[in-house]
Amino acid sequence: MTDRRILFSLLLTYFVFAILLNSVGTVILQVIGNYEVSKQSASVLEGFKDLPIAVVSFVVASFLPRLGFRNAMMVGLFIVTIACLSMPLFPSFLTTKLLFMCAGISFALVKVSVYSSVGLLSRSSQHHASILNTVEGTFMVGVLAGYWLFSAFIDSADPSSQSWLQVYWWLAGLCVVNIGLLLSTPFDESEARSRDQDSGRARGLRQDFVDMLKLTAKPMVCIFVLSAFLYVLIEQGIGTWLPTFNNEILKLPAAMSVQATSIFAACLAIGRLSAGVVMRRFDWYPVLNVCILAMGALIILTLPLTRGIEAAANIGWFNAPLAAYVFPLIGLFMAPIYPAINSVMLSSLPKYQHSAMTGLIVIFSSLGGTTGSIITGVVFGRFDGQTAFYLSLLPLSIILVALYFFRRQVLRLGGGEEPSALMT
């Protein structure tokens, strides 16, 4: 019963952060209307979220077992609670930046804590994989719920309305409930602390950094890091700016623009869940090549449908432009790429290098997300939304080439086809 209560608290924590972290696109759409912020300026919100995740994840990994995973999660939730309360009390673009900075710092604490806690809860490797799938599935449910939660508070008739800020009272309340749940749940972390002490020495920040530098000297790691960086650049660039694209290019009402973006999130969720089944039967390399080519085809075929759309009265789900339904399907083909290359990379390394490699994954993923949002925002502002999304064909092409060399390196090290079996 205690383990189930702990797991529920982990899932609820991840659920809250899924809503907050993936609300960037929705918030960008609102701050542009509320605070008269340009698209280029609004695009920095992704950086305020992602850069703290990268930095704090690297810093806290070595001493978090001493602080305690439950304590770290409560600290993260407390920080986010204060930030959420500040949004309706002190509405401004600066407060919005601080909110995402706090969310990034807190998620770094939470992500390391949740993943470490899963190791304490699991009784076997299969059980560990099952819990992690549940955690990641809950995250995607939070992403979907977030779009509909925010849209319920958006006043589509008045772009300058700040009614959407009321959603943060509910999010703050959810954080407080979770803090209370964590406080009242017994949490035995002695095993994690004893493993840290039994290692004979405490790993310092300097050693972690040296390990990462050593890994980047490997050609396979360099190719992987480039692929991961470019993938997240594409995903965040599209995901962050899709609400604005729906509103300004497809002429959907603000609330519906956010709701329609949930199709993209749902496709990502379906793609991630179905990837495990596909990867058990087929080699990862041809599957990912098909996914990349399908993404490119959707971009080329769908974006011309978005030209010349005129605003219509009483637009709804039954008379929305076809592109509003077709373009988000790109998430189905996008979803398997990131977990697949992560699985192949980690399974090609000895286990003692997984920690350093995970650090690189977090850092370059965060940098890719920030870069993608900023580049897409700048191009969107100076040209148009179609040009901004067409631009994703360039990094897609680079990923296609990089995966060829990545596979050659994996096979050279004897990785063969085995990594694909890890996609469960």
Shared domain for 119 and 183, answered yes or no, is yes
| Residue 19: alpha-carbon gap to chain centroid | 11
Tens digits of residue pLDDT in 253-283 = 888 888 888 899 888 888 877 776 676 677 8
How far, CA to CA in Å, does 402 sit from each of 228, 243, 342, 393, 409? 10, 30, 14, 14, 11
CA distance 45 to 352: 35
Burial class (CB in 10 A: 0-12, 13-18, 19+), 382: exposed
User: Are 351 and 269 in a shared domain?
Assistant: yes
* Last-in-domain residue among 135, 167, 189: 189
Domain boundary among 152, 167, 189: 189
What was the pLDDT predicted at 299? 95
* 13 compared with 213, residue with greater pLDDT: 13
Say what the pLDDT of residue 416 is: 43
In-domain check, residue 385: yes
Residue 261 domain flag = yes
> Amino acid letter at 405?
F
The per-residue pLDDT for 56 is 84
Task: Report which of 39, 24, 20 is spatially closest to residue 248, judged by C-alpha positions.
Answer: 39
- Report the distance separating Cα 118 and Cα 90, nearest Å: 37
* Per-range mean pLDDT, top range of 22-31, 39-48, 319-328: 319-328
- Which of 189, 211, 228 represents a domain boundary (last residue)? 189
20 has a pLDDT exceeding 90: yes
The letter for the amino acid at 142 is: G
* pLDDT at residue 76 tops 90: yes
Same domain as 390, residue 293 = yes
Q: For position 298, which CATH number holds?
A: 1.20.1250.20
Q: What is the pLDDT of residue 403?
A: 94
pLDDT at 397: 96
pLDDT in tens, 116-166: 777 677 665 446 545 665 776 678 788 888 888 998 888 877 777 889 999
Average pLDDT, the chain: 82
Among 241-245, 270-274, 361-365, 393-397, the range of highest mean pLDDT: 393-397
Domain-located, residue 416: yes
Residue in this structure with the two tokens 């710092």, named with its chain if needed: 105
**Based on the domain organization, do 181 and 210 belong to the same domain?**
no
Confirm if 325 and 263 have CB atoms less than 8 A apart.
yes
Check whether 202 has a pLDDT greater than 50: no
Domain that holds residue 70: 1-189
Higher pLDDT, 63 or 29: 29
Q: Is residue 86 part of a domain?
A: yes
**What pLDDT, on a 0 to 100 scale, did the predictor assign at position 217?**
81
What are the two backbone dihedrals, phi and then psi, of residue 247, each rounded to the nearest 5 degrees? -75, -45
SS (H, E, C) 106-175: HHHHHHHHHHHHHHHHCCCHHHHHHHHHHHHHHHHHHHHHHHHHHHCCCCCCCCCCCHHHHHHHHHHHHH
Q: Are 1 and 19 in contact (CB under 8 A)?
A: no
Residue 289 sits in the same domain as residue 185: no
In a domain, 197, yes or no: no
Same domain, 260 and 154: no
- pLDDT value of position 209: 63
Q: Could you tell me if residue 195 is inside a domain?
A: no
Residue 288 and residue 142 in one domain: no
Calculate Rg over the CA atoms of the chain: 21
Distance CA 424, CA 281 (A): 12
Total of domains in the chain? 2
Burial class (CB in 10 A: 0-12, 13-18, 19+), 164: buried
Per-residue pLDDT of 290-320, as tens digits, reads 999 999 999 999 999 998 888 887 888 888 8
| Stretch 84-88: mean pLDDT | 96
176 lies in the same domain as 245: no
Same domain, 297 and 160: no
Query: Same domain for 138 and 89?
Result: yes
pLDDT in tens, 152-172: 888 877 777 889 999 999 999
Distance, in Å, from the CA atom of 166 to the CA atom of 30, rounded to the nearest integer, reads 13
Within-domain flag for 196: no
312 shares its domain with 229: yes
Report the C-alpha gap between 243 and 254 in whole angstroms.
8
Q: What is the pLDDT of residues 311-362, one digit of tens each?
A: 887 888 888 899 999 999 999 999 888 877 877 776 677 655 655 676 677 7
| Same domain membership, residue 209 and residue 178 | no
What is the rounded distance in angstroms from the CA atom of residue 283 to the CA atom of residue 376?
33
Buried b (16+ CB within 10 A) or exposed e, 260-295: bbbbbbbbbbebbeebbebbeeeebbebbeebbeeb
- The stretch 19-47 carries a mean pLDDT of 86
305 in any annotated domain: yes
